[in-house]
């Protein structure tokens, strides 16, 4: 059994933002650990800014809002 090659940073980012939910302006969730491992936090945040997207972090998870709508935190 062969071990699959890890995704390149570009391939990982393409995979994330080409997901059906992301393409439809929805919400995707990724582990912060995976973001740091595959692309790095700075690169990821720069891509969010470039796209005009927002994200929140909680308990090692990043929730990415794949649209440019404002975010309101509900308590």
pLDDT in tens, 45-54: 999 999 999 9
70 in a structural domain: no
pLDDT for 1 beyond 80? no
Confidence of residue 3 (pLDDT cuts 50, 70, 90): low
Decide if 3 is inside a domain.
Answer: no
Both structure tokens of 24: 């439809």
Average pLDDT over residues 42-63: 97
How far, in Å, CA of 63 to CA of 54, rounded?
8
Question: Average pLDDT of the chain?
Answer: 93
Token pair 């692309």 is found at: 39
Percentage above 90 pLDDT, the chain: 85
The pLDDT of residue 2 is above 70: no
Total count of domains within the chain: 1
Whether residue 33 lies inside any domain: the answer is yes
Nearest in space to 26 (alpha carbons), one of 16, 14, 13 = 16
Tell me whether residue 48 is in a domain: yes
40: number of CA atoms within 13 Å, CB side? 6
The answer to whether position 49 is within a domain reads yes
Residue 32 lies in a domain: yes
Under 8 Å CB-to-CB from 74, ≥6 apart: which residues?
A: none
User: 13: domain range?
Assistant: 9-65
């Amino acid at each position: 059994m062969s071990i699959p090659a890890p995704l390149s940073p570009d391939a990982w980012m393409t995979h994330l933002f080409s997901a059906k939910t992301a393409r439809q302006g929805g919400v995707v969730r990724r582990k912060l650990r995976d973001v740091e491992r595959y692309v790095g936090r700075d690169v990821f945040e720069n891509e969010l800014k470039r796209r005009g997207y927002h994200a929140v972090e909680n308990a090692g998870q990043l929730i990415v809002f794949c649209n440019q709508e404002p975010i309101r935190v509900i308590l």
